[in-house]
């Protein structure tokens, strides 16, 4: 797609596009900002190369997509409460990484973040890619009968990974990501529609993920498991995904309302550092 000011090139059949012709360190002109926002609604994940952003500039750019918000249970940078450093050191081997399974950010919140922005500072020579999955495409590929059933049910979500049972966990995560665990309030389950309507595109997207979705409403975990397992396998089929190979200076912006993402943990021996901001969202809108 050729724009008057910026160029937008899809990187995969379902979702994800590279945007060139913009310097994110400077405020965008109104027309360019509108083009970037329109590309974001169309492609769900945008990638910008060769950027040099201070924390203030990353926060200012993030504000293009809505109010920048803080996320719970994860210690932010000392001077920038809006920014979390996603860091794994070169000597941290065989540990879990932040975001190392398919998820939509903080989906257990009453109003989960609408979008997230990740800025790559130090990137391994190879490995450490991020994958995204298109939850519109996944919903649209289901049979009409399955779509109708899913449109009428809620799934329960909780922040159990920050909850009471995780207080004494031996799960090792990077020492630089200070996560507060043992929070009883994080265990509270909240219902969200399994199919949500995106407020900007009006399209329907699946909204479940294997990190935060605990079960389907009014069902046990055992009863829910086969249905959720089917949905996770279905929505992460390769044709619904894109994979991004990071370089230092890359910026990714993704829409948590219609995508899942997955940080690939395959770079033991290399340091990887990115700065992450979040954009406030609304309570998910049910499809039926």
d(CA 89, CA 101): 19
The residue sitting closest to ligand SIN, measured at its beta carbon, is: 99
Closest CB to ligand SIN among 70 and 154?
A: 70
Closest CB to ligand SIN among 35 and 105?
A: 105
Residue given tokens 């490995």 in the structure block: 127
Identify residues 144-203 at the interface with ligand SIN (CB under 6 A).
none
Asked if residue 130 binds ligand SIN (CB under 6 A), the reply is: yes
**Alpha carbon distances (Å) from 211 to 37, 78, 93, 107, 172:** 28, 27, 22, 9, 16
Identify residues 236-275 at the interface with ligand SIN (CB under 6 A).
261, 263, 274
Closest CB to ligand SIN among 257 and 261?
A: 261
d(CA 31, CA 18): 18
d(CA 179, CA 74): 5
Closest CB to ligand SIN among 208 and 216?
A: 208
d(CA 224, CA 193): 14
Q: How far is the CB of 287 from ligand SIN (least distance, A)?
A: 26
- Looking at the annotation, which residues are catalytic? 103, 105, 261, 276
Among 32, 35, 68, 99, binds ligand SIN (CB under 6 A): 99
Q: How far is the CB of 137 from ligand SIN (least distance, A)?
A: 20
| Helices (H), ranges, the chain | 30-43, 55-62, 135-140, 144-151, 221-235
Asked if residue 98 binds ligand SIN (CB under 6 A), the reply is: yes
- SS3 state of residue 179: strand
Identify residues 106-125 at the interface with ligand SIN (CB under 6 A).
116, 118
Q: How far is the CB of 4 from ligand SIN (least distance, A)?
A: 32
94, burial (CB in 10 Å: exposed 0-12, middle 13-18, buried 19+): exposed
Q: Which residues bind ligand SIN (CB under 6 A)?
A: 86, 98-99, 116, 118, 130, 261, 263, 274, 276
């Amino acid at each position: 797609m050729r724009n008057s000011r910026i160029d937008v090139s899809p990187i995969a059949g379902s979702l994800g596009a590279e945007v060139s012709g913009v310097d994110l360190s400077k405020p965008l002109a109104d027309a360019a900002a509108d083009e970037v926002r329109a590309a974001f609604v169309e492609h769900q994940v945008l990638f910008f190369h060769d950027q040099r952003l201070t924390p203030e500039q990353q926060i200012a750019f993030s504000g293009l997509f809505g109010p920048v918000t803080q996320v719970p249970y994860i210690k932010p940078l000392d001077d920038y409460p809006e920014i979390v450093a996603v860091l794994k050191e070169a000597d941290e081997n065989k540990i879990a990484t932040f975001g190392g399974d398919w998820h939509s950010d903080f989906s257990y919140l009453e109003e989960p973040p609408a979008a997230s922005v990740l800025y790559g500072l130090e990137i391994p020579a190879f490995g450490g890619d991020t994958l995204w999955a298109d939850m519109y495409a996944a919903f649209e590929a289901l049979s009409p009968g399955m779509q109708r059933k899913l449109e009428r049910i809620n799934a329960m979500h909780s922040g159990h990974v920050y909850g009471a049972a995780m207080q004494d966990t031996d799960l090792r995560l990077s020492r630089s990501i200070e996560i507060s665990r043992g929070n009883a309030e994080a265990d509270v389950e909240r219902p969200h529609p399994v199919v949500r309507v995106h407020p900007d595109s009006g399209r329907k997207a699946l909204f479940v993920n294997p990190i935060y979705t605990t079960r389907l409403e009014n069902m046990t975990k055992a009863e829910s498991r086969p249905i959720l397992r089917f949905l996770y396998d279905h929505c992460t089929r390769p044709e619904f995904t894109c994979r991004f190979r990071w370089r230092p200076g890359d910026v990714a912006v993704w829409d948590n309302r219609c995508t899942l993402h997955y940080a690939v943990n395959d770079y033991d021996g290399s340091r990887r550092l990115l700065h992450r901001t979040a954009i406030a969202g609304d309570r998910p809108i049910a499809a039926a």
